[in-house]
Structure 1
């Protein structure tokens, strides 16, 4: 499998994981009282949140670093990615509970946006490579 297809799959997986994390963090506080009735109380456990964050960090770092080295050489996706994780960390560890339901989903969507930016940069590089190979 080519590097481009690998990074595209990682970006899609990263966008999905980050978006699910953001939706989870936004909806769990709203439905916290109904989760036990539905048998979904495990969603409010901190280990679920930490697991989602760890998966997002691994996927984001892997995908963006592969793309950076082999394709687009742009730092902007990393800036967006680290901004998203900074929002998540601030929401989790600031101790201000009123910020948590705002910052953590916003951070999750920002991490997903980093994957989207990376994916678009990869597509533009692949497009140029195809056009360059046709000219030869």
Structure 2
């Protein structure tokens, strides 16, 4: 039995995860010195960041690929790939890391938002 994938749910979760990633990356340099005092030093762990990236990528692949069957638009994929490119560049270019990585997370959240809007706008044309 094949279960239908609810791409709207994955888009909402993906937007939340991407936005959390962007906020995490934007605020981490500012509050890095306070983390040990508050007991949140685990947030500075590179594995947390990698986990957020992998989670965002997995959610995005599921949401965008299943929604593409409905709306047939590539714009969410383009914005998503641009977001992951910014994240990759942020890890490669030391001085721009605090700008590029949050921007990448924001672009991923925007890709989910656009995908969600496109899916909702064409859902009345789809027969179950």
Q: TM-score, normalised by structure 2?
A: 0.93
Q: Which residue of 2 aligns with 1:133?
A: none
Shift of 1:37: 0.3
- Secondary structure (helix, strand or coil) at the match of 1:98 reads helix
1:1-136 matches, within 5 Å, as 3=5, 6-69=6-69, 71-94=70-93, 97-129=94-126
CA deviations on 1:64-87 (whole Å, 9 max, x unpaired) are: 001112x01111110000000000
Unaligned runs of 5+ in 2: none
Unaligned runs of 5+ in 1: 131-136
RMSD value over aligned CA atoms?
1.6
User: Could you tell me how far apart the structure 1 residues matched to 2:56 and 2:99 are?
Assistant: 18
CA deviations on 1:24-52 (whole Å, 9 max, x unpaired) are: 00001000000000000000010000000
Q: TM-score, normalised by structure 1?
A: 0.88
Tell me which stretches of 4 or more aligned residues in structure 1 moved more than 6 Å: none
